[in-house]
């Protein structure tokens, strides 16, 4: 029990007749980076908001840092940090004034606050924006500031709801370096994203779809154990057209477009040669098909496909 930062048991939340979170259960170990993956509206934010004590669950149980989410939310709030999906810092005051405000609210020691703030301004582009009003910042810088506001008081657990939305790839690298260093300090990180490449950085991920967890585990293990079939990558001139054609063929379970490439998932019983011959007679291949390791995205698409069927 002591090693678990978060435990959730059959958590549900309804808004009217709409079930946003439909009985999810999972545990997160201390110091773990736990990724919550899923499309918009899958129930990621609703789950986070229940864990942070902002929203009461309709039913089910949850504990964060050892405290009950419905009965002891005030105890939880002193031990967590939260970065909401929608930007929620004060826009009319400066970067530093926002940081100072939250340092005060979390009763940070002045010395710690000053040291961490200085380090943060040294390490990131925000140093240049220190005395700028937040509304004038580019969106990447805002996200950085929100991240820092959530972690500057060194919470036991930090909840990051789509932290890298609207952040350019280089800055995203900084985010993940920061997240990794938090985990090294023993801070548990609960992060949601819909960038599946980011999910590979997590120790474990849960895939959530329509309020339910479709799969949970370490990324590599998930694609190995949960994925049914084989994935082939091929280059085609018109991937969208090729995709719809491929889906009409027997033995093709899924076809997903990645830029100019097509990932085809074939059932275990299917014969790849027959399928590719059929396909090549209708569309021209730029690159020959290669058998590849399925990615999380392939897994996700196939899991959603299963759900829908």
Partner 1 sequence: MSFTRVIAVARKETLQILRDPRFLFLAFAFPVVLIFLFGYAITLDVREIPTVILDRSNSTHSRQLIRSFVNSGYFSEIARANSEKEITELIDRGEAAFALIIPFDFAEQLQRDRAPVLTIADGSDANTSQSIVAYSRRILTDYNLKRVGSAIGIDVSKMRVTAQTRFWYNQELDSRHFLVPGLIALIMTTLGALLTSLTVAREWERGTMELLISTPIKPVELALGKLLPFYVIGMFDLFLSSAVAVIIFDVPFRGSLVLLTISSSLFLAAVLSMGYMISVVTRSQQLAYQVSMLASFLPGLLLSGFLFPISSMPKAIQIISLAVPGRYLIDILRGIFLRGAGLDILLPNLLALAGFTALFAILAVLTFRRSV
Q: Which two structure tokens, joined as six digits, stand for 220?
A: 């590599």
Compute how many residues bind partner 1; rule: CB under 8 A: 28
Q: Which of 9, 41, 59, 105 binds partner 1 (CB under 8 A)?
A: 105
Could you say whether residue 111 binds partner 1 (CB under 8 A)?
no
- The one segment of 78-86, 195-203, 230-238, 284-292 that binds partner 1 by CB under 8 A: 78-86
**If binding is defined by CB under 8 A, does position 69 make contact with partner 1?**
no
For partner 1, which residue of 2, 17, 86, 308 counts as binding (CB under 8 A)?
86
Which one of residues 104, 127, 186, 267 is an interface residue with partner 1 (CB under 8 A)?
104
User: Residue 93 interacts with partner 1 (CB under 8 A)?
Assistant: yes
Q: Which is nearer to partner 1, 134 or 213 (CB)?
A: 134
| One of 1, 74, 122, 170 touching partner 1 (CB under 8 A) | 74
DSSP assignment of the chain, as one string? -TTEEEEEEEEEEEETTEEEEEEEEEEEETT-EEEEE--TTSSHHHHHHHHTTSS--SEEEEEETTEETTT-HHHHHTTEEEE-SS--S-SSSBHHHHHHHHHHHTT--HHHHHHHHHHHHHHSGGGGGTTSBGGGS-HHHHHHHHHHHHHTT--SEEEEESTTTT--HHHHHHHHHHHHHHHHTT-EEEEEES-HHHHTTSSEEEEEETTEEEEEE-HHHHHHHH--SEEEEEEESSHHHHHHHHHTSTTEEEEEEETTEEEEEE-TTS-HHHHHHHHHTTS-EEEEEEEEPPPHHHHHHHHHHHHH-
Q: Does 107 bind partner 1 (CB under 8 A)?
A: yes
Q: Which stretch binds partner 1 (CB under 8 A): 30-38, 48-56, 219-227, 292-300?
A: 48-56
Q: Which of 11, 21, 89, 283 binds partner 1 (CB under 8 A)?
A: 89
Q: Is position 166 an interface residue for partner 1 (rule: CB under 8 A)?
A: no
State yes or no: residue 106 binds partner 1 (CB under 8 A): yes
* Residue 165 makes contact with partner 1 by CB under 8 A: no
Minimum CB separation from partner 1 for residue 21, in Å? 18
Tell me if 68 contacts partner 1 by CB under 8 A: no
Cβ within 8 Å of residue 124, ≥6 positions away: 144, 174
Region from 12-20, 46-54, 265-273, 275-283 binding partner 1, contact rule CB under 8 A: 46-54
Which residues here bind partner 1, judged by CB under 8 A? Answer: 52-54, 74, 77-78, 80, 82, 84, 86-93, 97, 100-107, 133, 149
């Amino acid at each position: 029990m002591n090693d678990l930062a978060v435990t959730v048991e059959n958590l549900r939340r309804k808004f009217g007749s709409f079930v946003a979170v439909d009985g999810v259960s999972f545990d997160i170990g201390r110091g773990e980076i736990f990724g919550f993956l899923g499309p918009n509206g899958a129930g990621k934010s609703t789950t986070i908001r229940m864990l942070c004590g902002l929203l009461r669950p309709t039913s089910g149980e949850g504990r964060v840092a050892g405290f009950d989410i419905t009965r002891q939310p005030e105890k939880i709030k002193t031990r967590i940090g939260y970065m909401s999906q929608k930007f929620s810092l004060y826009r009319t005051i400066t970067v530093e004034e926002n940081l100072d405000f939250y340092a005060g609210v979390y009763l940070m020691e002045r010395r710690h606050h000053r040291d961490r703030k200085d380090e943060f301004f040294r390490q990131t582009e925000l140093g240049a924006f220190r005395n700028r009003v937040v509304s004038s910042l580019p969106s990447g810088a805002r996200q950085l500031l929100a991240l820092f506001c959530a972690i500057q008081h060194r919470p036991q657990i930090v909840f990051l709801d789509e932290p890298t939305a609207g952040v350019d790839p280089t800055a995203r690298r900084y985010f993940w370096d920061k997240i990794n260093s938090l985990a090294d300090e023993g801070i548990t990180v609960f992060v949601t994203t819909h960038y599946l490449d980011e999910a590979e950085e997590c120790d474990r991920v849960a895939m959530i779809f329509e309020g339910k967890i479709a799969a949970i585990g370490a990324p590599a293990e998930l694609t190995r154990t949960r994925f049914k079939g084989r994935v082939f990558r091929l280059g085609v001139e018109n991937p969208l057209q090729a995709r719809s054609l491929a889906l009409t063929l027997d033995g093709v379970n899924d076809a997903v477009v990645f830029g100019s490439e097509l990932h085809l998932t074939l059932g275990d019983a299917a014969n790849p040669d027959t399928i590719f011959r059929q396909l090549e007679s209708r569309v021209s291949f730029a690159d020959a098909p290669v058998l590849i390791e399925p990615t999380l995205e392939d897994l996700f698409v196939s899991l959603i496909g299963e759900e829908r069927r």
